[in-house]
């Protein structure tokens, strides 16, 4: 449709020179958005190119060997055990908080999202420093479940809070008991939340490096990092990366297929009544104990050990000549990355909201695919491409910030889209009808209305960057350290006390992210 | 073929013909619009007199909002011309963007800026005048649209739907447009408020002497608001004319039925008399002779003791001020609906006498 409009515009334009402000053309934005999407496809292109360049025989030899099978089996069992555990814990917790007479619902609501503030590698550090023998699949599943179940809890809770109770009441009036209502009516409506949350958990499992390296559990990501450390840019590492990327793409496809055409918006007009609350009666105590155990393990346990190590270390661990530069460096990367990411995401979001077409959908899809690329693959791609094409840029802040932008673009996109939807086109048009040029209308109407969403998107990107470890290890300039890389080098050399201040700062910086995610998910479901 | 017809209705005051030589403010010439392969507008010709009010009325999906957006400059026509006061604003001869057209636009939901107060909304286009004068002007405009100037400090969401529409109007008037476009501005309001707001806005626009175009799907609104009504169907203008003309002499059967209840009967046309189940009824300018269908408005069929036609009451629907009575005409075996103010006389089975007032409109059959 947009192409037709453009063609019409050109036809009319051909009549008499150019006419500024035609309603159909936004070629500048389209060009920028296309460029951004192309750059974002670079990691995928790199993996594909490397696979082809390696040659079929070598690739087969490198992929079909016992080591790869072992990694595949590790990663497979990790996903197969962790994702269902996260789904069950997340939905159970969300249902208790949103739909039952649980005491202290508001407090539990916040506490259950809070484990997200503890980065998975900090969680792993707490467990390993407490129980040094922790290793292998079961430990990996335990730590990953505790770190990632909020990724299911948050969307499930937001959806449950917004479900139209009239649907459940209709089901009850058709003779369904409470359990039947839950399984036949409530659970199906959670499908988008569950598939989305499940995908997010799986992608985190495939991409996570620090948490699993700490407990010596080998996944594709840890193996690629090892290969990179030993051979820098070996074919073996690249082939592992192709298998990993293939896994990510398959997950993405599975999620798209199971999501289907489900809609979760309420049909019909009128004001929705608030959901019915199930009294817990004698289940109150078991429910409280269950949630207490869950938050104790996921939140208070790591917090307790981080604080314990800080107390043990005393003032000696606060090496300010290291800590302060790392803090400013981290904040600097966060700010620069957030600015670049938001600016790059804006044209994409604008086209998607204002000029939806197959073209804007393709651009978004490209970004969606990139969002599934693990940090290790993006890092590897940038290292190789920078060395080969632009050696001057290798190990510079520029490359690192671009890599951050690719990794965290979807966070900015989701928020920008929601924000631009708050500023409908009709308002822009109303401003133009009042004699204000399209550009000034954008400045005076669209920008102020979408500013809160732009800010929260930028904040989420900022916080994600402060926690990023894998790509930072690969791409940061020599001698530059962030909070995460200092934490990493101390904790891997088993200096748990010296790592504690960095872990503590990372948790403090991540706390606002939890709140932002909670707010964002409520808004996303509200639309 | 026509002959002097015994007209009991007054002649229309305004000719429906399009004539660009009169003081035409807006002039559309063969405007078409395609979205992809879909033709939304199929060649619209329309002339709007300066200071006049025109209603574009049609069912949803007929293209009326697209037409309005083309006039406003939010869309470009695929082919055809749009001119304002003789100057081409869209088409092969030139393009003037929306913000330079001096056209006011009031959207269906008002489209007030939610981040600004009512006063700031109204003052949106008043940035060029000094602050003190601006405040005065906002108060003036608010009084003009019958809003309490104290509301200036409120946020749009604190106002009722009707008040929001008046703010939107005041905001559009602040820009002093030559032409005001209203896109179904009353449809979101409930029935009582709709009539009051419509009347208030019509008065304000008349006082300001602004040429106005109203888009609506509500025929009663179109007929009561405008002095020119354009009926739109499937991307074409089926008829343009003054409200009285389009209601009493619709151009075709679909227009007749769209503009209000219609009694449609098979008839035989001879000269200017149509013979049907209700007897011989005069027709003004019959299109053909022989087999036709004729259209009467229900209010043209009166219940009268000395009426020449017999009818048996089948059933009634009570509306309060009047009752719709469904009658069987035993002589012809046809069923018609009429309106009457007195529900008590129309019990099912009662026999009534009927009389037809005025002329019918005839359409070729099929």
Residue-wise pLDDT for B293-348, tens only, equals 999 998 899 888 888 888 899 988 888 888 888 889 887 788 888 888 776 777 88
pLDDT band at B259 (very low <50, low <70, confident <90, very high): very high
Q: Which of B94, B97, B124 sits opposite A20 (nearest CB)?
A: B97
Q: Do residue B72 and residue A427 have CB atoms under 8 angstroms apart?
A: no
| Helix or strand holding residue B84 (H, E) | strand B79-84
3-state secondary structure of B73: coil
pLDDT band at A275 (very low <50, low <70, confident <90, very high): low
The residue written with tokens 């600004």 in the block is B116
What per-residue confidence (pLDDT) applies to B121?
92
A436 near A446, Cβ under 8 Å?
A: no
User: d(Cα B311, Cα B332) in Å, to the nearest integer?
Assistant: 10
Mutate to test the interface with B, among A4, A7, A434, A453 (most CBs of B within 10 A): A434
**CATH node for B24-253:** 3.40.50.300
Q: Which residues contact B331 (CB under 8 A, 6 or more apart)?
A: B277, B309, B310
User: d(Cα A121, Cα B252) in Å, to the nearest integer?
Assistant: 77
3-state secondary structure of B90: strand
pLDDT digits 0-9 by tens, B81-99: 999 988 899 988 888 888 8
Q: Do residue B114 and residue A438 have CB atoms under 8 angstroms apart?
A: no
What per-residue confidence (pLDDT) applies to A26?
63
Q: What's the Rg (C-alpha) of chain A?
A: 25
| Helix or strand holding residue B80 (H, E) | strand B79-84
State how far the alpha carbon of B355 is from the alpha carbons of B298, B299, B305, B306, B338, in Å. Answer: 11, 11, 9, 8, 11
What per-residue confidence (pLDDT) applies to A7?
37
> CATH fold of A318-527, please?
MetI-like fold (1.10.3720)
pLDDT band at A453 (very low <50, low <70, confident <90, very high): confident
| Helix or strand holding residue B264 (H, E) | strand B263-270
Q: Is the pLDDT of residue B262 over 70?
A: yes
The 8 Å CB, 24+ separation contacts for B9-15 are B9/B248, B9/B358, B9/B359, B12/B241, B12/B242, B12/B244, B12/B245, B12/B249, B13/B242, B13/B244, B14/B227, B14/B228, B14/B241, B14/B242, B14/B245, B15/B241
| Helix pair angle (A358-371, A2-15), 10° resolution | 130
What pTM did the predictor assign? 0.74
Q: Which residues contact A263 (CB under 8 A, 6 or more apart)?
A: none
Mutate to test the interface with B, among A430, A441, A446, A448 (most CBs of B within 10 A): A430
A111 near A299, Cβ under 8 Å?
A: yes
pLDDT band at B12 (very low <50, low <70, confident <90, very high): very low
B63 near B238, Cβ under 8 Å?
A: no
The residue-averaged pLDDT of B124-137 equals 89
The residue-averaged pLDDT of B3-26 equals 52
Chain B hits for A434, Cβ within 8 Å? 99, 124-125, 171-172, 174-175
Q: Which residues contact B320 (CB under 8 A, 6 or more apart)?
A: none
Tell me the nearest-neighbour CA distance from B324 into chain A, angstroms: 31
Q: Do residue A429 and residue B93 have CB atoms under 8 angstroms apart?
A: no
Q: Which residue of A has its CA nearest to B76?
A: A23
**Number of inter-chain CB pairs under 8 A, A vs B:** 103
Q: Do residue A430 and residue B36 have CB atoms under 8 angstroms apart?
A: no
B5 near B284, Cβ under 8 Å?
A: yes
Q: Return the structure tokens found at B163.
A: 């008040």
A321: exposed, middle or buried (C-beta count within 10 Å: 0-12, 13-18, 19+)?
exposed
Distance of CA B63 to the CA centre of its chain: 15
Domain B254-364 in CATH 3.40.50.720? The answer is: no
Q: Do residue A434 and residue B175 have CB atoms under 8 angstroms apart?
A: yes
B295 near B263, Cβ under 8 Å?
A: yes
Q: Is the pLDDT of residue B14 over 50?
A: no
Tell me the nearest-neighbour CA distance from A524 into chain B, angstroms: 20
pLDDT band at B15 (very low <50, low <70, confident <90, very high): very low
3-state secondary structure of B234: coil
Q: May I ask the CATH architecture of the domain A45-259+284-310?
A: Orthogonal Bundle (1.10)
Tell me the nearest-neighbour CA distance from B98 into chain A, angstroms: 6
- Give the residue numbers in A contacting B (CB under 8 Å), as ranges: 1, 4, 8-9, 12-13, 15-16, 19-24, 424, 426-427, 429-438, 441, 444-445, 448-449
Q: Is the pLDDT of residue B30 over 60?
A: yes
What per-residue confidence (pLDDT) applies to B194?
81
Q: Return the structure tokens found at B327.
A: 């009658």
A521 near A460, Cβ under 8 Å?
A: no
Chain B hits for A448, Cβ within 8 Å? 115
User: d(Cα B74, Cα B93) in Å, to the nearest integer?
Assistant: 18
pLDDT digits 0-9 by tens, B266-280: 999 998 899 988 888
Highest mean pLDDT among A79-88, A281-290, A515-524 belongs to A79-88
Sequence ranges of the domains in chain A: 45-259+284-310, 318-527
B317 near B308, Cβ under 8 Å?
A: no
By mean pLDDT, which of A7-16, A70-79, B36-45 is the weakest?
A: A7-16
User: B253 or A63: whose pLDDT is higher?
Assistant: B253
What is the DSSP-derived secondary structure letter of residue A183? I
Sequence ranges of the domains in chain B: 24-253, 254-364
pLDDT digits 0-9 by tens, A15-51: 333 343 444 456 778 888 888 888 888 888 888 888 8
User: d(Cα B280, Cα B289) in Å, to the nearest integer?
Assistant: 14
| Size of chain A in residues | 527
Interface pTM, i.e. ipTM: 0.74
Q: Do residue B124 and residue A436 have CB atoms under 8 angstroms apart?
A: yes
């Amino acid at each position: 449709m947009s192409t037709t409009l453009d063609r019409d515009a050109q036809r009319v334009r051909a009549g008499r020179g150019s006419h500024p402000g035609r309603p159909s053309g936004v070629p500048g934005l389209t060009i920028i958005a296309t460029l951004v999407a192309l750059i974002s496809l670079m990691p995928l292109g790199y993996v594909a190119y490397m696979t082809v360049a390696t040659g079929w025989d070598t690739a087969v030899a490198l992929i079909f060997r016992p080591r790869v099978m072992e990694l595949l089996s590790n990663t497979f069992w990790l996903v197969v055990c962790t994702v269902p555990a996260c789904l069950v814990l997340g939905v159970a917790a969300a249902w208790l908080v949103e739909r039952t007479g649980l005491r202290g619902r508001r407090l539990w609501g916040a506490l259950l999202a809070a484990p997200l503030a503890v980065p998975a590698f900090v969680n792993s550090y707490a467990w390993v420093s407490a129980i040094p023998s922790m290793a292998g699949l079961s430990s990996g599943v335990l730590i990953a479940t505790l770190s990632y179940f909020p990724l299911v809890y948050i969307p499930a809770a937001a959806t449950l809070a917004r479900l139209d109770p009239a649907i459940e009441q209709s089901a009850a009036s058709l003779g369904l008991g409470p359990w039947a209502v839950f399984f036949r009516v409530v659970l199906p409506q959670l499908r988008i939340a569950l598939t989305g949350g499940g995908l997010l958990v799986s992608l985190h499992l495939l991409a996570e490096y620090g948490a699993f390296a700490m407990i010596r559990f080998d996944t594709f990501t840890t193996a690629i990092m090892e290969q990179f450390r030993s051979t820098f840019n070996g074919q073996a590492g690249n082939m592992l990366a192709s298998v990993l990327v293939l896994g990510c793409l398959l997950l993405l496809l599975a999620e798209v297929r199971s999501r289907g055409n489900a809609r979760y918006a309420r049909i019909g007009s009128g004001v929705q009544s608030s959901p019915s609350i199930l009294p817990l009666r004698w289940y109150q105590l078991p429910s409280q104990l269950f949630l207490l155990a869950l938050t104790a393990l996921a939140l208070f346990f790591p917090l307790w050990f981080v604080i314990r190590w800080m107390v043990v270390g005393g003032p000696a661990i606060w090496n300010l000549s290291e800590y302060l530069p790392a803090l400013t460096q981290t904040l600097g990367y966060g700010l620069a990355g957030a600015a670049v990411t938001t600016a790059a995401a804006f044209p994409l979001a604008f086209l998607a909201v204002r000029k939806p077409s197959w073209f804007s959908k393709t651009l978004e899809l490209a970004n969606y695919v990139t969002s599934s690329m693990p940090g290790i693959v993006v890092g590897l791609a940038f290292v190789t491409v920078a060395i080969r094409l632009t050696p001057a840029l290798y190990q510079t802040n520029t490359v690192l910030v671009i890599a951050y932008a690719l990794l965290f673009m979807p966070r900015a996109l989701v928020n920008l889209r929601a924000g631009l939807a708050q500023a409908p086109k009709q308002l822009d048009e109303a401003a133009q009808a009042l004699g204000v040029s399209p550009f000034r209308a954008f400045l005076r109407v669209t920008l102020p209305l979408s500013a809160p969403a732009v800010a929260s998107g930028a904040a989420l990107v900022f916080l994600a960057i402060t926690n990023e470890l894998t790509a930072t290890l690969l791409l940061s300039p020599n001698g530059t350290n962030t909070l995460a890389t200092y934490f990493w080098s101390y904790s891997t050399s088993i200096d748990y006390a010296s790592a504690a201040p960095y872990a503590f700062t990372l948790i403090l910086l991540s706390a606002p992210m939890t709140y932002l995610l909670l707010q964002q998910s409520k808004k996303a479901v509200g639309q | 073929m026509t002959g002097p017809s015994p007209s009991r209705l007054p002649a229309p005051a305004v000719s429906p013909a399009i004539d660009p030589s009169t003081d035409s403010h807006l002039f559309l010439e063969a405007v078409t619009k395609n979205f992809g392969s879909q033709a939304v507008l199929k060649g619209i010709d329309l002339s709007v007199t300066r200071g006049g009010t025109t209603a574009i009325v049609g069912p949803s999906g007929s293209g009326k909002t697209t037409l309005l957006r083309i006039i406003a400059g939010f869309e470009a026509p695929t082919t055809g011309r749009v001119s304002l006061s003789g100057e081409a604003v869209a088409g092969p001869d030139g393009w003037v963007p929306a913000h330079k057209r001096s056209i006011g636009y009031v959207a269906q939901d008002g489209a007030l800026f939610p981040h600004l107060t009512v006063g700031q909304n109204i003052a949106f286009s008043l940035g060029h005048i000094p602050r003190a004068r601006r405040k005065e002007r906002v108060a003036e405009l608010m009084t003009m649209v019958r809003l309490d100037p104290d509301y200036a400090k409120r946020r749009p969401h604190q106002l009722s739907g009707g008040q929001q529409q008046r703010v939107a109007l005041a905001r559009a008037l602040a820009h002093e447009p030559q032409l005001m476009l209203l896109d179904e501005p009353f449809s979101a309001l409930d029935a009582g408020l709709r009539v009051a707001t419509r009347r208030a806005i019509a008065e304000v626009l008349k006082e300001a002497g602004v040429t106005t175009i109203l888009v609506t799907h509500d025929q009663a609104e179109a007929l009561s608001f405008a002095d020119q009504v354009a009926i739109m169907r499937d991307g074409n203008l089926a008829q343009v004319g003054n409200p009285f003309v389009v209601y009493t002499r619709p151009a075709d059967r679909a227009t007749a039925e769209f503009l209000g209840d219609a009694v449609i009967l098979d008839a035989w046309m001879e000269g200017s008399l149509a013979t049907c189940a209700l007897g011989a009824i005069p027709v003004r300018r019959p299109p053909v002779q022989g087999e036709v269908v004729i259209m009467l408005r229900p209010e043209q069929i009166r219940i009268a003791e000395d009426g020449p036609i017999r009818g048996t009451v089948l059933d009634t629907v009570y509306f309060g001020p009047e009752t719709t009575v469904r009658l069987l005409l035993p002589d012809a075996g046809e069923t018609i609906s009429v309106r009457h103010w007195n529900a008590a006389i129309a019990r099912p089975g009662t026999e009534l006498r009927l009389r037809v007032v005025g002329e019918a409109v005839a359409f070729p059959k099929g």
